[in-house]
Amino acid sequence: MVDQRDAIPGVGTAPDAPEEPERYDWPELVAGLNRYLRLGATPVGLKMLDTVAEMEAIERIRRPEGQLMLDQIIAQARWNGWTLGVTGDDLGAQCAAPVGLLPTVDGGRLPTLVQWRESTNMSGVWFGSDEDAIAHQQAMDVLPSGRYEALAVSPLTSGRLDPPDICLIYATPGQMIILINGLQFHGYRKFEFSVVGESACADSWGRALKTGEPSLSIPCFAERRFGGVQDDELLMAIPPRYLPKAIDGMAKLSRNGLRYPIAPLGIQADPAQSLARSYGGR
């Protein structure tokens, strides 16, 4: 059975999302992220592409050697600074499904989306029964198959995916909460994120692409094993239109003395003086 969410066409845009700017200054945006977050790795963009020809036309595009995980492709972009393009044939099914690159017709190496939703491959490995494994597959957020033929990833500063559909930011929990605080400074909203467990990395891409909203995930075992994600890193998949808002919010917080790194006061110190600096007489 195909989840009704699979019928959602294309890349999502949340109703209350910030407006898309006329142009993005990618070096300045990344400089802003680094100014307020001191990121350890390069933020990258991911863009869905209608055709393979569109992917091949991107400047300095690389193709993977052999079948890889999308985690590995993204890692090569953020650690090596490369621009890479893939089709479903370059990926495993668990990576191809969330980004809509499974085939629509049965008979190839990869399953169709319907078959993938019913897969029991993880039964006895990550889950205790076939029913649990299928429930996991059903819970994953995905783009519909057949809409796109390829995708590309590239460092944001390259400007080669202008604009990408989503930006991928790897950060520590301390950095990530400041980023979220920046998003909430104007037009406050409560963000709610979900966790599917294993495959959480892929689910975060699919959720952000489908909904058009920021999606925070705890990188899973596979992303850490194959994608080189560090033990203290979280992943934010975020549409680019949110970045100017987040950076502006973090600038306001910084002027209020609320910035990263967060200096610990001490577990036995009286917080009154610190609170007075932030809140005054309130």
Within-domain flag for 251: yes
The answer to whether residues 167 and 89 touch, using CB atoms and an 8 Å cutoff, is: no
Question: Order of strands across the sheet with 150-155?
Answer: 61-62, 83-86, 150-155, 44-49, 166-171, 234-238, 215-217
% the chain with pLDDT above 70: 95
153-177 tens-digit pLDDT: 999 999 999 999 999 999 999 999 9
Within-domain flag for 131: yes
Q: The tokens of 124 are what?
A: 């006895």
The three-state secondary structure class of 154 is: strand
Looking up tokens 């990344």 gives 30
What single-letter amino acid sits at 14?
A: A
The answer to whether residues 132 and 141 touch, using CB atoms and an 8 Å cutoff, is: no
Strand partners, 168: 44, 237
Strand partners, 250: none
Considering the chain, what is the average pLDDT of its residues?
93
Cα(81)–Cα(43) distance, rounded to whole angstroms?
10
Total tally of structural domains belonging to the chain:
1
Within-domain flag for 141: yes
pTM summary value: 0.92
Cα(275)–Cα(282) distance, rounded to whole angstroms?
10
Within-domain flag for 150: yes
Within-domain flag for 238: yes
Within-domain flag for 146: yes
Higher per-residue confidence, 16 vs 102? 102
The pLDDT-based confidence of 84 (bands split at 50, 70, 90) is: very high
91-147 tens-digit pLDDT: 999 999 999 999 999 988 999 999 999 999 999 999 999 999 999 999 999 999 999
The answer to whether residues 229 and 71 touch, using CB atoms and an 8 Å cutoff, is: yes
The answer to whether residues 124 and 136 touch, using CB atoms and an 8 Å cutoff, is: no
Q: The tokens of 266 are what?
A: 């001490």
Within-domain flag for 186: yes
Within-domain flag for 144: yes
The residue segments making up the domain with residue 206 are 25-257
